[in-house]
Amino acid sequence: MSIQDTVSSWEQLFEIAQKNTSARRVRRPGQSPSTEPIPSSLHKLPPDTTPPVLLYRDTNSWCPFCERVWFALEEKEIPFATEFIDLSNKPKWYTDLVPTTLVPAVKIEGQLVYESKDILLALEEKFGTTLLPDDPEENAIARQLVEDAETNGFREVVYKFLRATPADADELANLQAAFEAKLDELEQTLGKYPGPYFVSNFSLVDIMYSPHLDRLAANLPVYRGYHLKGNERFPRINAWFEALNQRPAYHRVKSDNITNNLLLRRRWGVEPIGNPLPLNSVDSQSIEYRAEAAERLSDNREVAIGDILKNSGVQALAKDGDISAIQEAVDLHLRLLADYLINGNGAPLPGGRTGGKDSTDPIVAAVGAITLAYVRNRICAPRDMSAGAATAFRAAADKVLASVY
């Protein structure tokens, strides 16, 4: 019996996966991105009602400033619709609409607001100040910290350490010293109120910094050999990360480490010098995340298979231009991956899982290896699935890949 006959069908895989996750997305046929997350509070709207907020954001969900706005919308449980803007080819209607031509922008009940900080403040004004302190004195301090986050040079200094190409070790050491001084300032600010956040409760100040500190924590180990998480110099920043980690909205909007790492190399051309951080084992073994990853893969398989056939290089293995056997092998290995996500227990698959008839065909194995390596790096969180699901997906792809040969 061939492995083709023993692996579950897509329909079976999809059904089981869907039962085990509450995460849902809508498909966007023929568009990029091919799926879109459903805001957690959309159900609060009566049917056929237009959400009060329209968010314009980047198609790949890489933009840290869009992440700020998405984070606030999820925290405040405001139903919203999303319009994706392709930053490599911005539509004229968008550049005509938004004076800066940048994302994010929003329409709040039809009124345009742009610049992430101004959007956050406008959401507070329109939908109640849940992310600013009630106490007037503390409120003024929080508002000042929000302003400071834009004007205190934090972003310029920290990203320079991450992305600049220093001429020599002295210059790198200077960039690092400036970076550490900026983080020392944050460390002190975090110490002004009891509790892990910048003011007494979670607020816009945390939202201003979180997408940037997340990207630094993911990328510095790989590109600078520098660790922010676990660094004893920054205990309050570490406690702040821990506190953010308890917030469901944060998990909906954040990206995973590998997405951040790949983006820095592809978008900014920075060369890695250190090892990627290990995949978070709690996330990769979580049933909920594994099911979400399997549900995403099963639901979006046609787009995934089309992308693999076009862009991964597998078509070079087609004999006499016949792609059908290649397509079958791609399909098989994606089903093995979905099956492993659902049924695997974190232990390696028994050797030769693609055994039987197919294992004797080196082309099938080669297509499988390419497919798994390609999708492992191709998925992008939170564009395609949540960060936790992406972590489970990559860990499973590694395991199945290890069983191909």
Ligand X SMILES: N[C@@H](CCC(=O)N[C@@H](CS)C(=O)NCC(=O)O)C(=O)O
Please report, as a single letter, which amino acid is at residue 371: T
Cβ proximity of 198 and 206 under 8 Å:
yes
- Residue 209 Cβ vs ligand X, minimum distance, rounded to whole Å: 13
The whole-angstrom separation of Cα 56 and Cα 84 is: 6
Least distance from ligand X to the Cβ atom of residue 105, Å:
8
Spatial separation of the C-alpha atoms in residues 308 and 113, rounded to whole Å = 39
Tell me how far, at minimum, the Cβ of 190 lies from ligand X, in Å.
Answer: 22
**322, 363, 369 from 319: Cα distances, Å:** 6, 10, 18
358 near 404, Cβ under 8 Å? no
Q: How far is CA 139 from CA 69, 259, 341, in A?
A: 20, 35, 46
CB 93, min distance to ligand X, A? 15
| Pick 64 or 356: Cβ nearer ligand X | 64
Cβ nearer to ligand X, comparing 55 with 334: 55
Strands (DSSP E) contained in 225-362 are none
Assigned token pair, 201: 């409760």
Question: Which CB atom, from 205 or from 279, has the smaller least distance to ligand X?
Answer: 205
Query: Given its phi and psi angles, is residue 101 left (phi above 0), alpha (psi -120 to 50 degrees) or beta?
Result: left
Helices (H), 2-135: 3-6, 10-19, 64-75, 92-97, 116-127
Q: How far is the CB of 66 from ligand X (least distance, A)?
A: 7
Q: Return the number of the residue (113 or 342) whose C-beta is nearest ligand X.
A: 113
User: Judged by CB, which is closer to ligand X: 115, or 398?
Assistant: 115
Residues 6+ apart with CB under 8 A from 100: 114, 115
Shortest Å distance, C-beta 31 to ligand X: 19
Closer to ligand X by Cβ: residue 150 or 288:
150
Closest CA to 370 of 326, 313, 307: 313
Complex with ligand X: residue 25 or 212, whichever CB lies closer: 212
- In the numeric block, the tokens 């079958």 are attached to 328
Closer residue to ligand X (CB): 102 or 205: 102
Residue with smaller CB distance to ligand X, 213 or 293: 213
Classify strands 53-58 and 25-27 as parallel, antiparallel or unpaired. Answer: unpaired
Q: How far is the CB of 156 from ligand X (least distance, A)?
A: 12
Cβ neighbours of residue 60 under 8 Å, at least 6 residues apart?
A: 33, 380, 383
Question: In the complex, what is the shortest distance from the CB of residue 30 to ligand X, in angstroms, rounded to a whole number?
Answer: 24
- Shortest Cβ 64–ligand X spacing (Å): 6
Q: Alpha-carbon distance 181 to 178, whole Å?
A: 5
- 193 is written with which tokens? 């109120």
Binding region for ligand X (CB under 6 A)? 58, 63, 65, 87, 101-104, 115-117
Please state the length of the chain: 405
Q: Residue 333 CB, nearest distance to ligand X (Å)?
A: 34
106 versus 397: smaller Cβ distance to ligand X? 106
Handedness of CA 61, 394, 307, 261 (dihedral sign): positive
